[in-house]
Structure 1
Amino acid sequence: MNKKRIISAMLACVVSMSAAAALSGCDSSSEGSSGKSAKKSEDGKAVLEVLTHRTDRVDDGSLDEMTKAFEEENNCDVQYVAYQDYTGTIATRMGTDDYGDVLMIPDDVELKDLGNFFEPLGTYDEMSATYRWADRKMDADKNVYGIAYGGNAVGVLYNKKVWSDAGITDLPKTPDEFLADLQLIADKTDAIPYYTQYADASWTITQWQSLVLSATGDPEYENKLLTDKLDLFAEDGGYYPVYKLMFDLFSTPSVIEEDHMTTEWESSKVWMGEGKIGTMMMGSWAIAQFREQAENPDDIGYMPVPITAADGKQYAETAPDYCVGVSKHADNKELAKKYVEWFTGESGFAEKEGMIPAKKDSALPDNLSEFENAEFFEKAATPEELVGKFNEIDTKSGVGVYNGDTDNFKIKLAEAAFAGKGEDEFKAIIAAENEKWAAARDEILG
């Protein structure tokens, strides 16, 4: 049977609204676990609506192909609804009871509110025995509402041939070495040394935040920001070296594209594969996408964060991408949970994408071979008394460490760098963020 896969966000909204609700239930019953009548496909199979940000994998049909095994085993029809502006569109849909059966949990849903929108999948003690990053979508009672569909090692995406053509033989270990290597690329090749992806800054600039913990090499760093009341931008911490590198990089016109407001995400995949771009700051989730577009997939490499920790080592944090959860309004919640377990543990999607699988007994992907001299680690679990506090402080302060909105400090730093405002402006911006963070932290923690 040829299934109708909904790609357009506008079309998806119209269809889902006319259908009244996202309906599932792959058993023989006409009612799901919520007591509502489950939607059936034309051939009588129950329908499971899965919302995703992976428009590329819906467009190329690979998600459909992969899911056939699950559909056959459970006698159901999985319908993927993909959104380019996933966060914005899902925020609108979550204002109703109709936001699919299974979906990628938006990061702007506060931990304390997870239970209002999603079904618990188990307790932290239960889930952490099997899955990495089990505390990512966990409330204060240690109920887990989402499982990562895959994880990323933190690092830098680059074209090996471009770097080699510039005469670079050793990968950089410090910000100064990184900037010097980019200048070599500018001097000795025709490639854009570093591509900012700034036209899509609302999400691309947030990629820099993922470098912070790796820069410290300390799994407990985020907890220590609270328990030890450290300055957010302390020079010996993680935020300062990461965002100082970003600022210095964006302040150097010779190593970035000529017009940062006209960058193109999809086209950049082709351009990097053609050797027109040397480097980008992206999670390891991007490796597979760029290799698919490359003339020679082996040219696409991934290097550790070019920052050396205080102990002289380079570190790479492994962290989850979106977590997959079950809507509180799903009709057949048990079937929806079964899909989540299958997708995150058995489908092979993470491995195909070059990502780290969520299940702890899975092997790391081959594309992280260049991290042989770096040490992998996972962020330490949050102590019970601090669960949700980091997010609460972040929200109250307005710092928005994972945000990329127009008033965010990352955007302010980037704009100041592009405008050549210099070191004094950098210091002024981070001083203001330090002050906001400390005030919110002291008010919440006492």
Structure 2
Amino acid sequence: MKMRTAAMVAATTSLAFTLAACSGSSDNGDGSNTPAPESSSTTSDSAMAEVAGEITVLTNRTDLVDTVFADYKSTFEAKYPDVEVKFEAITDYEGEVATRMSTDDYGDVLLIPNSVNASDYPDFFEPLGSVDELSQTYRFIGSEANFDGQSYGIAITGNANGLVYNKKVWADAGVTADPTTPEEFQKDLQMISDNTDATPLYTNYADGWPLTQWESDRGGVTANANAVNELADTDAPWSEGMDHYIIDSLIFDAAAAGNIEEDPTTTNWEQSKTDLGTGKIGAMALGSWAIVQMQEAADDAADIGYMPFPNQVDGTFHSVISGDYKNGINVHSENKAAARAWIDWFADESGYATDQGGISPRLDGPTPDTLKDFDAAGVEYIELTPPPAGQESLVSDIDNAAEIGLWSPDYRQRIVDAARGARDETKQDIFDDLNSKWAEARASVEG
């Protein structure tokens, strides 16, 4: 096992504290094995001879570890009889794994925590190959989990972004079409409030991580594939017409109108799935990974729909597609060939993405039926433009210096609290403060 320098240990410890402050989860549904394309594993022939030993795979899928993942284990071990796979299912995945990453003990294969800076990838994860090489086979390689031309993770599935909703609730409220503007969306929420017993928009405030799902809409809101990179070029992301202004205004306005949970501090993620599925909730902002879960919880799976973020550009809806968690290899693993074999098999042969209603990480993978509502609405998909070379972590560096936490729930909990009267701030007060922090941090990071 590699020995780390004192500087690396210090950097690791610092990162762990940063990640622990951004605790989250990404529970993604149920599924079963389905046929997949023929494997195009990039594990070399020489490495294949070393595919042996015990590997520990960390997962956030507490709901699947004893069922679907047990089947994966049997199938994989039949192909690689010299490998034994063990799983660790972690409820507070981001928080616990962040703490463990201050040591060498964070599994052999793990889902790369969302808050790890790209510049830190080489310290924690084994490179899987060049971006140019892997992007010939897999989606999301050029824009995610890479640094200095090397890829460190392969997505377990891909997601579109929007709102999962109960079609029956919206129809009972008198809504007949997807809202095309934030203003129409607010009117629709009010119709649900006035004409049904459902909570129009459920924030899942108490669990926290669902509030971070709104961040995935940036770029899709304004049909701008370069939206994230442009955060490094502006002092005021919360200005009218920009992604964060539109997203966070929608959240604030819904909460201010009383069209969210009566007491957001008591929300419950697991219960919310049943409540949306049975018509007690109108909509939730979640990636497309959530559709299958809501269908399973519904009285009638046909009641579950998926709508794009309510904003059109030139008469068209847009949605950012991106990879979900990325499987990576612990740089300290003693069985890296076996770990790599698992990652390749999971992406190429497990069928996980299809089972979860997600977009296959493979370029030649199937299109999920779960996005048929998007097809009907004419949604155009966007993949975000990768950051320029040498600037892979620039936006996250600014965000860290500003102490905002774009991917943490805190600042959007602040927005909800202010809107419902639990904080003495207006929407503009919050936006002015966020812009000030961003500008100051940008000046300090960029010089």
- TM-score category by the smaller chain? 0.7 to 0.9
Partner of 1:237: 242
1:302 and 2:302 are equivalent in the alignment: no
Aligned partner of 2:74 among 39, 54, 68: 68
DSSP-derived class of the 1:214 partner? coil
Partner of 2:396: 391
User: In 2, Cα distance between the equivalents of 1:62 and 1:257?
Assistant: 33
Aligned partner of 1:320 among 305, 308, 323: 323
Partner of 1:157: 164
C-alpha displacement of 1:120: 0.4
C-alpha displacement of 1:421: 6.4
Partner of 2:426: 425
C-alpha displacement of 1:312: 3.2
* Equivalent residues of 2:235, 2:438 under 8 A apart: no
User: In 2, Cα distance between the equivalents of 1:241 and 1:109?
Assistant: 27
DSSP-derived class of the 1:96 partner? coil
- 1:126-275, aligned counterparts within 5 Å? 126-134=133-141, 135-139=143-147, 141-201=148-208, 203-226=209-232, 228-229=233-234, 231-253=236-258, 255-275=259-279
* Equivalent residues of 2:54, 2:335 under 8 A apart: no
Deviations 1:159-206 (A, max 9, x none): 1111111121111111111111111112222222121211112x1111
DSSP-derived class of the 1:51 partner? strand
1:332 and 2:329 are equivalent in the alignment: no
Match of 1:195, as an amino acid?
Y
Deviations 1:348-397 (A, max 9, x none): 10111111111111122111111121111100111114221111111112
User: In 2, Cα distance between the equivalents of 1:67 and 1:331?
Assistant: 19
DSSP-derived class of the 1:216 partner? coil
- Which is worse superposed, 296-305 or 127-136? 127-136
Deviations 1:57-116 (A, max 9, x none): 114x11111332211000132211101111111122222211111000112222111111
Structure 2 gaps of 5+ residues are 1-48
User: In 1, Cα distance between the equivalents of 2:404 and 2:273?
Assistant: 31
User: In 1, Cα distance between the equivalents of 2:235 and 2:345?
Assistant: 41
Partner of 1:113: 120
User: In 2, Cα distance between the equivalents of 1:236 and 1:185?
Assistant: 27
Match of 2:277, as an amino acid?
G
C-alpha displacement of 1:259: 1.7
User: In 1, Cα distance between the equivalents of 2:215 and 2:179?
Assistant: 19
Deviations 1:106-158 (A, max 9, x none): 1222211111111000111112222111131112x221111111111010010
TM-score if structure 1 supplies the norm length? Answer: 0.85
- Which is worse superposed, 368-377 or 239-248? 368-377
User: In 2, Cα distance between the equivalents of 1:268 and 1:420?
Assistant: 23
C-alpha displacement of 1:433: 1.2
DSSP-derived class of the 2:276 partner? helix
Match of 1:205, as an amino acid?
L
User: In 1, Cα distance between the equivalents of 2:241 and 2:363?
Assistant: 32
User: In 1, Cα distance between the equivalents of 2:387 and 2:151?
Assistant: 13
Change (3 A) 1:83 1:420: closer
User: In 2, Cα distance between the equivalents of 1:421 and 1:99?
Assistant: 39
DSSP-derived class of the 1:78 partner? strand
1:438 and 2:445 are equivalent in the alignment: no
Partner of 2:357: 354
User: In 1, Cα distance between the equivalents of 2:274 and 2:414?
Assistant: 29
C-alpha displacement of 1:229: 3.0
User: In 2, Cα distance between the equivalents of 1:108 and 1:374?
Assistant: 29
* Equivalent residues of 1:224, 1:230 under 8 A apart: no
C-alpha displacement of 1:402: 0.9
Aligned partner of 2:95 among 88, 91, 97: 88
Match of 2:191, as an amino acid?
L
Match of 1:411, as an amino acid?
Q
C-alpha displacement of 1:420: 6.9
User: In 2, Cα distance between the equivalents of 1:393 and 1:57?
Assistant: 37
C-alpha displacement of 1:414: 1.4
User: In 2, Cα distance between the equivalents of 1:283 and 1:329?
Assistant: 32
- Which is worse superposed, 357-366 or 147-156? 357-366
Deviations 1:203-260 (A, max 9, x none): 111111112211110101122232x43621121211101000000011122x222221
User: In 2, Cα distance between the equivalents of 1:243 and 1:180?
Assistant: 17
Number of residue pairs the alignment of both structures matches: 395
* Equivalent residues of 1:345, 1:357 under 8 A apart: no
User: In 1, Cα distance between the equivalents of 2:251 and 2:308?
Assistant: 16
1:285 and 2:289 are equivalent in the alignment: yes
Identity, % of aligned positions: 42
* Equivalent residues of 1:51, 1:102 under 8 A apart: yes
Structure 1 gaps of 5+ residues are 1-31, 39-44
Change (3 A) 1:371 1:230: farther
Match of 2:394, as an amino acid?
K
* Equivalent residues of 1:137, 1:323 under 8 A apart: yes
User: In 1, Cα distance between the equivalents of 2:217 and 2:135?
Assistant: 24
* Equivalent residues of 2:131, 2:149 under 8 A apart: yes
Greater length-normalized contact order (CA 8 Å, ≥ 6 residues apart): 2
